[in-house]
Amino acid sequence: MARASPQSNRQVNAKPGDVILYQGSRVTIYYGENSWNVTPLGHIGGVTGAGLREALKAGGGHVSVTFSLEGPRRDHAGVFDLERGSVRLNSGYTMPINSLGTYSLAWETCASAVKAALAHGVRLFDTASIYRNEAGVGQAIRESGVPREEIFVTPKLYPGSQYDHPEEAIQDALDKLGIGYIDMMLLHRPGRNDGKAYKAMEQAVAEGKICSIGLSNWYVKELEEFLPQVSITPALVQNKIHPFYRENDVIPYIQDLGIVVQGWYPLGGRGHTAELLGNEVISGIAEAHGKSSAQVILRWNLQKGVAVIPGSSNAEHIRENTELYGFTLSDAEMAQINALDRREKHD
Ligand code: NAP
């Protein structure tokens, strides 16, 4: 891949690969050498004059060149505020980047976990119709005394009858939660009638029932097929992400669309956490920072721009999972954790 590096405006003799400003108004790429005085803009590395000439010949005298600017990515919605623990979504709403996941927490356990989380400052709760605990989440929120507008709740619609009759399913989630409106609704996974279900969510946004909408378990191919059909770009994609399974290609693809990525199973998934939390690399980094392995994994996600939804029914773990902001993993530590990728799944 060729990379043009910026140079200062000075007059030099051009050589193959130089990008120059010619006669003040034309951008030219040199394939030969020239002793004229020119204004260099940059240089394309890794190319030869012969290679450039060959490309020109192959195109019958025409080549198409794309210039793009390299710099800090995502200087728009989607940039994590690691001071406040939040991100602005492409829908204009602000979402917390750490939260509580409630998969496999039955009503009462779920309600007490949500209350403990609220007491420790957690403001985002991930639920789903398939978890059968939306009512427990809603009850805990209503009883907490925390103002509704400070809280962010993400329920999901599941394939099957909910995608076949999405208006009823959305109303069902609103009724079970009993908190007035839904902050973010996701389609849980691709399935028959997912386009119809998404359109119903778009309509619910127009009616003020839902603030933001998104997808879960949609990967590059699925997104390429799905996105052309939608009117509202998803604000969030929630996919499985943890150090053994880190979706190298998928995360940047989604982020470059201006969509925030949220990772489920951040600790490897209930019943599968031992190997990840006990991993030597992760424990070593945790020890160096005086943090737990769970905190290091969650922080690694945040520094990659991935919001986290750790699940827990344990008040101490819930508190621990909020303390992710007073330390920073170095580039070397991030690289060490990145290197653990095994593309493993724990479905
Ligand atoms: P997880 O967050 O990877 O792991 C949960 C496990 O970690 C529990 O056994 C929990 O035990 C333990 N744990 C939590 N914090 C800990 C800490 N600080 N130290 C040690 N252990 C800790 O798995 P998950 O809950 O199954 O998944 C996370 C969330 O993702 C779910 O709750 C759900 O909201 C969402 N999800 C979404 C999808 C989807 O398809 N969109 C699929 C699965 C899950 P304790 O209870 O003892 O703390």
Interval 169-187: pLDDT, tens: 999 999 999 999 999 999 9
Q: Ramachandran region of residue 128, left (φ > 0), alpha (ψ -120 to 50) or beta?
A: beta
Average pLDDT on 56-71 reads: 74
Kindly tell me if the per-residue pLDDT of 157 is higher than 50.
yes
Residue of 156, 190, 148, 191 whose CA lies nearest to 173: 156
pLDDT of residue 274: 96
Is residue 100 within 8 A of residue 117, CB to CB? The reply is yes
Whole-number pLDDT of residue 28? 84
Q: Is 131 a catalytic residue?
A: yes
- Provide the angle, in degrees to the nearest 10, between the axes of the packed helices 134-144 and 166-177: 40
CA 189 vs. chain centroid, Å, equals 16
- The pLDDT, as a whole number, for residue 16 is 83
Please report the pLDDT score of residue 3 as a whole number: 43
From 241, 265, 283, 295, give the residue whose CB has the most ligand 1 atoms within 8 Å, as the site to mutate.
265
pLDDT surpassing 70 at residue 227: yes
User: What average pLDDT does the segment 87-99 reach?
Assistant: 97
271 CA: nearest ligand 1 atom: 9
Mean model confidence pLDDT for the chain: 90
Ligand 1 neighbour 268 (Cβ under 6 A): yes
C-alpha of residue 269 to centroid of ligand 1, in Å: 5
Q: What is the gyration radius of the CA atoms in the chain, in angstroms?
A: 25
Instruction: Read off the pLDDT of each residue in 43-66 and give the average, rounded to a whole number.
Output: 80
Ligand 1 centre distance from Cα of residue 227 (Å): 29
Mean pLDDT within 203-209: 97
Q: Does residue 251 have a pLDDT over 80?
A: yes
- Residue 27: pLDDT over 80: yes
According to DSSP, the residues that pair with 187 across neighbouring strands are: 157, 215
H or E segment and range at residue 191: none
Q: Which amino acid is at 269?
A: G
Q: Give the pLDDT confidence score for residue 242 in this predicted structure.
A: 92
Q: Distance (Å, rounded) from C-alpha 37 to C-alpha 112?
A: 74
Residue 76 has pLDDT above 90, yes or no: no
Q: Which of 17-21, 132-136, 196-200 has the lowest mean pLDDT?
A: 17-21
Residue 10: Cβ-neighbour burial (10 angstroms; 0-12, 13-18, 19+):
exposed
Ligand 1 site, residue 131, Cβ cutoff 6 A: no
From residue 170, how far is each of 56, 180, 284, 298 by CA, in Å? 57, 12, 45, 31
pTM equals: 0.81
CB-ligand 1 contact for 311 (6 Å cutoff):
yes
User: Which range is most confident: 45-54, 245-254, 306-315?
Assistant: 306-315
pLDDT in the model for residue 213: 98
**pLDDT given for residue 11 in this prediction:** 59
The neighbour count for residue 247, using CB atoms within 10 Å, is 21
Q: How confident is the model at residue 116 (pLDDT cuts 50, 70, 90)?
A: very high
Residues 31, 44 contacting (CB under 8 angstroms): no
User: What is the percent of the chain where pLDDT is above 70?
Assistant: 90
CA of 267 to the centre of ligand 1 (A): 6
List, as one string, the DSSP characters of 205-265. HHTTSEEEEEEES--HHHHHHHGGG-SS--SEEEEE-BTTB--TTHHHHHHHTT-EEEEES
Residue range 51-80: mean pLDDT, rounded = 73
Cβ atoms of 259 and 237 closer than 8 Å? yes
Percent of the chain with pLDDT over 90: 74
Please state the rounded mean pLDDT for residues 238-245: 93
Q: Give the active site residue among 31, 131, 245, 265.
A: 131
For the segment 84-100, the average pLDDT, to the nearest whole number, is 97
